[in-house]
């Protein structure tokens, strides 16, 4: 019933758009929604016009991209309300909440549409391909989000210039940052080794493998699958975080930090190390750090993945589905779906990569009469929305060494996880068990609970739904 209602609503919207005027009838209308695309915003309008012109140059298609207004704050919730209210844009960016829309039947299977593309089908990463096999409704053509730590290069040099190679080396680095007066305020001991925000996901990306947390599911001594969340390896990792916090090296306020607070602590010298989730984020951090300290020559250095008692590597990558990405409405007509995919295909092309990854000529870069491209300072604040095509070679290299090192590290340490998509009936158990985990991790790190209470946590996790999840996982995993 809901899908029928949505189909009628979507058809009415499309018909209205075509009937607006004769000029409009010549172009295929594609309604697009994303939190950072805003109607009447000059930057958004320029970006959209560049895409329309690029698609036209690519194969002669006339596409009229129309931005659907939506607030960036609480985006996932507002998007769900929009969609469940019957207003279904044609090209939709999700940051969660997509699975329930799949259950409503309003998201198209992207595999046939991608198969018809000229560029996008050849520019997907390995994890994209695997995720599309398991969940063909979202595509996010970017390297895996793999948070990795950065430090000011001048601070690292003041500490001897040696990058940490082991977990113990990281502890020593955090201690040296804390003890040194690197920010020059005359008060040693008031700088955290590192900070984070909301949870420990970022730290887990480099410390999971080091402590032997090899995937979402691991085998216990009896050979049975158990959740990594309740293993001895996880316990050792959390104990390490708690020890850092007890020594004043890790930010005990991480739970209440927002991302902007985390960043501000880094830029103002209150924390020496933060994690960037992508190469572009690392580049943006570098640009913002330089802007916060005008007149100083400040760059960032990416710190390496440490080895530890359990091994070395980045956290295993979930290939069950995309956690975010672009979807196309199944309510849209075949013509509109094809037009939406042309937008995505163009942005994966060499010309589209210039639009999506380099921003605006005259603002983010300058092109001379002989074709020479010069990158402008504003480039550091630009980021791609659609695609980070792996084979594209930029006309000039503007990315920082830290950003390039980030990409190399992701490629070197990629490992697929053994997680899977849960049936909808298990969603309450997933949420409840995760809430228990996050709550106890915070208590361990802040000192509200001691590690001798680990068994109490495990019992609570199992009771909250963890045991039911474990029982089901054992039917899925071989």
Per-residue pLDDT of the chain (478 residues), as tens digits, is 444 444 444 544 444 444 444 444 589 999 999 999 999 999 999 999 999 999 999 999 999 999 999 988 889 999 999 999 999 999 999 999 999 999 999 999 999 999 999 999 999 999 999 999 999 999 999 999 899 999 999 999 999 999 999 999 999 999 999 999 999 999 999 999 999 999 999 999 999 999 999 999 999 999 999 999 999 999 999 999 999 999 999 999 999 999 999 999 999 999 999 999 999 899 899 989 999 999 999 999 999 999 999 999 999 999 999 999 999 999 999 999 999 999 999 999 999 999 999 999 999 999 999 999 999 988 877 889 999 999 999 999 988 999 999 999 998 999 999 999 899 899 999 999 999 999 999 999 999 999 999 999 999 999 999 999 999 999 999 8
Residues 6+ apart with CB under 8 A from 130: 319, 416
Say whether both 281 and 348 belong to one domain.
Answer: no
Residue at 8 is within a domain: yes
Asked if 156 and 296 sit in the same domain, the reply is yes
The torsion angles phi and psi of 277, rounded to 5 degrees, stand at: -85, -10
Q: What is the pLDDT of residue 25?
A: 52
- Asked whether residue 328 falls in the same domain as residue 457, the answer is no
Query: Same structural domain for residues 12 and 128?
Result: yes
Report if residue 407 sits inside a domain: no
Identify the DSSP state of 318.
Answer: P
Same domain, 370 and 287: no
234 within some domain? yes
Predicted TM-score (pTM) of the model is 0.81
Are 201 and 52 members of one domain?
Answer: no
Question: Do 354 and 458 reside in the same domain of the chain?
Answer: no
Q: Which of 368, 389, 410 is the last residue of a domain?
A: 389
Examine the domain organization and report whether 95 and 201 are in the same domain.
no
Please indicate, yes or no, if residue 402 is contained in any of the structural domains: no
Among 88, 82, 80, 83, residue whose Cα is nearest residue 336: 88
For residue 350, the domain's CATH number is 3.40.190.10
pLDDT for the residue numbered 380: 77
Last residue of a domain, one of 389, 411, 433: 389
**pLDDT score, position 280:** 87
In-domain check, residue 219: yes
- Structural domain containing residue 309: 148-316+419-476
Gap between the Cα atoms of 315 and 313, Å rounded: 7
Residue in the structure block whose two tokens are 């010309």: 351
Residues 306, 341 within the same domain: no
Statement to judge: residues 284 and 251 lie in one domain:
yes
Same domain, 193 and 108: no
**Number of domains the chain is built from:** 2
Shared domain for 122 and 167, answered yes or no, is: no
Report yes or no on 246 lying in a domain: yes
58 closest CA partner among 354, 327, 325, 336: 354
- The CA-based angle 264-267-270, given to 5 degrees, is 75
Is 378 part of a structural domain of the chain? yes
CA 98 to chain centre: 15
Q: How far is CA 82 from CA 13, 71, 101, 386, in A?
A: 14, 11, 11, 22
């Amino acid at each position: 019933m809901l899908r029928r209602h949505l189909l009628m609503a979507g058809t009415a919207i499309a018909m209205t758009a075509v009937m607006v005027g004769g000029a409009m009838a010549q172009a295929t209308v594609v309604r697009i929604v994303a939190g950072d695309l805003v109607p009447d915003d000059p930057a958004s309008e320029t970006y959209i016009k560049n895409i329309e012109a690029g698609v036209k140059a690519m194969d002669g298609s006339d596409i009229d991209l129309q931005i659907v207004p939506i607030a960036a704050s609480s985006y996932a919730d507002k998007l769900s309300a929009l969609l469940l209210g019957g207003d279904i844009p044609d090209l939709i960016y999700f940051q969660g909440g997509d699975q329930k829309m799949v259950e409503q039947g309003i998201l198209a299977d992207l595999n046939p549409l991608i198969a018809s593309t000229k560029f996008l089908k050849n520019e997907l990463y390995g994890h994209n391909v695997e995720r599309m096999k398991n969940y063909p409704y979202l595509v996010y053509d970017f390297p895996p989000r793999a948070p990795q730590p950065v430090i000011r290069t001048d601070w690292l040099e003041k500490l001897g210039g040696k990058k940490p190679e082991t977990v113990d080396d990281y502890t020593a680095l955090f201690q040296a940052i804390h003890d040194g007066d690197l920010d020059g305020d005359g008060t040693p001991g008031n700088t955290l080794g590192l900070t984070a925000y909301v949870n420990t996901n970022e730290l887990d990306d480099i410390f999971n493998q080091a402590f032997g947390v090899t995937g979402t599911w691991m085998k216990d001594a009896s050979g049975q699958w158990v959740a990594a969340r309740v293993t001895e390896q996880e316990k050792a990792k959390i104990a390490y975080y708690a020890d850092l916090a007890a020594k004043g090296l890790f930010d005990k306020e991480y739970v209440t930090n927002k991302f902007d607070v985390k960043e501000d602590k880094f830029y103002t010298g209150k924390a020496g190390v933060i994690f960037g989730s992508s190469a572009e984020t690392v580049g943006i951090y570098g640009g913002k750090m330089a802007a916060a300290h005008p007149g100083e020559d400040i760059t960032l250095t990416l710190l390496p993945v440490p080895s530890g008692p359990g091994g070395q590597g980045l956290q295993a990558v979930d290939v069950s589905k995309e956690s975010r990405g672009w979807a196309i409405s199944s309510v849209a007509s075949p013509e509109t779906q094809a037009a939406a995919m042309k937008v995505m295909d163009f942005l994966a092309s060499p010309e589209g990569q210039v639009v999506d990854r380099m921003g605006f000529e005259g603002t983010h870069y300058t092109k001379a009469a002989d074709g020479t491209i010069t990158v402008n300072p504003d480039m550091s604040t630009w980021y791609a929305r659609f695609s980070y095509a792996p084979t594209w070679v930029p006309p000039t290299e503007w990315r920082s060494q830290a950003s390039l090192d980030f990409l190399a590290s992701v490629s070197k340490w990629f490992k697929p996880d053994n997680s899977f998509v849960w049936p909808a009936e298990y969603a309450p158990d997933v949420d409840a068990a995760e809430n228990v985990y996050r709550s106890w991790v915070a208590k361990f790190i802040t000192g509200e609970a001691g590690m001798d209470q680990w068994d109490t946590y495990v019992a609570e996790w199992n009771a909250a739904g963890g045991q039911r999840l474990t029982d089901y996982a054992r039917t899925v995993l071989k």
